[in-house]
A and B are shown apart, each in its own frame.
Chain A
């Protein structure tokens, strides 16, 4: 028997579509914020950074709106099975996106803080490349959700290892620059936090992919990704 997609109660469908529409809207804003934050960082555009900083408020408001709509849907419709998983996943994804928005805002604030200082040569373009990489992860992971594609979602989870790898490389690079010249430390700290923020966005994209797999299959993927911890990498070098 073919599975009919429409509920007998049509307004139930409208409610489910509504929270997903809010989520997709948040996704679009967050992608733009990440892209703008990366551009502002690379071109040292303080105005654009300020725009990103202000824009985060909208994402926060959409997150609250989505949560309140979802709470109403849960109370009034008592969704079950894939409807229930969909609502739970959308709520989780909304939180992930809200955090991504915060990271974009933080990158923008640090860009403004660094506006007067000299940046560490070469690292800005590396950061921009990393930002573009995780921004694509966010876009693809939302596509995977919209297409209800657990295979694509699993592929994005795999991709996060590469984001971690880029972060680890940047971590070493910042460390080296800061050890070479202590005047690099202020900028190096900011740049490191920016790199860490970008790396965290990759983690949230992974979280969204996991929710996609849950919504479609009913089971969360097992967490068996190999983790590379940069904390241990740096210590021996800085002990010298």
Chain B
């Protein structure tokens, strides 16, 4: 099947953005992630799938050190972004999270104006010198998140007043405002209706031109639609990691097959 989509998909998947080696995560006594090794490509979408509690979100949160905020959580192994170990003492987690943006399951705009929601990150990271600079960043981010046309006339209105789908796109605009290199999405569509979901999926497809996108999703159809690579997690193990079309047409591991075909695994 050498269709255009396939050719287009293959072109950009040459560079590795994030390399994870022997990553283990413990919550107290619980061994949540077991020896995970994975290479996440730049300029592409990688999907993490698996049953609830399999560790996919935990692993996602390792990629911008969100697990640091949990006291009982311990992470071992090496995660490198462009050859820089992100767990190195010299790395400031706040700076890292500007480089590795995150979008959550439930849209969580700040109780501020639409403008301030987007401007917040660039402001604390000192990315804009003048008001005009900031205006440009806000507009570019909102455009990139495909919500500019819907909000350009009411930038002072509260972000919380938008619809669920719009709020989620606002959160994506907020995440891309700090010019990240990687965008992590933890079930970004699970609280959205099918139209808003389709808009976010279309947006993800555009975002991958500029970012490395990693998405955790419970919808296997969504993983199949938006990603180029898919990783299947089960009981803390990375069971299978391969091209998305391979995973969904001919998975190699029986556990992957059981899960994606809806059999009791």
Contacts and interface: CB of A to CB of B under 8 A. Distances in A.
A216 B255 CA distance: 17
B262 A9 contact: yes
A63 B248 CA distance: 27
Contacts of A82: 257, 261
Interface in B204-249: 220-221, 224, 248-249
Interface residues on B, range: 10 to 19
Contacts of B263: 3-8
A80 B261 contact: yes
Interface in A1-50: 1-9, 12
Contacts of B261: 7, 79-83
A119 interface: no
Contacts of B258: 1, 3-4
Name which of B220, B260, B263 has the most chain A CB atoms within 10 A of its CB: B263
B249 A1 contact: no
Nearest to A214: B250
Interface in A195-223: 218-219
Which DSSP category, helix, strand, loop or mixed, fits chain A's interface? loop
B111 interface: no
Contacts of A7: 261-263
Interface residues of A, number: 20
B264 A8 contact: yes
Given A4-B263, A7-B261, A81-B257, A218 B221 contact: no
Given A1-B255, A82-B257, A8 B262 contact: yes
Nearest to A88: B249
A16 to B, nearest CB: 10
Name which of A7, A80, A85, A219 has the most chain B CB atoms within 10 A of its CB: A80
B260 A80 contact: yes
B207 to A, nearest CB: 25
A4 B250 contact: no
22 contacts: A1-B258, A3-B258, A3-B263, A4-B263, A4-B264, A5-B263, A6-B263, A7-B263, A8-B262, A8-B264, A9-B262, A78-B221, A80-B220, A80-B248, A81-B248, A81-B256, A81-B257, A81-B260, A81-B261, A84-B248, A84-B249, A219-B250
Interface of B: 220-221, 224, 248-251, 254-258, 260-265
* 4 tightest Cβ-Cβ pairs between the two chains A and B: A218-B250, A3-B254, A80-B260, A4-B263
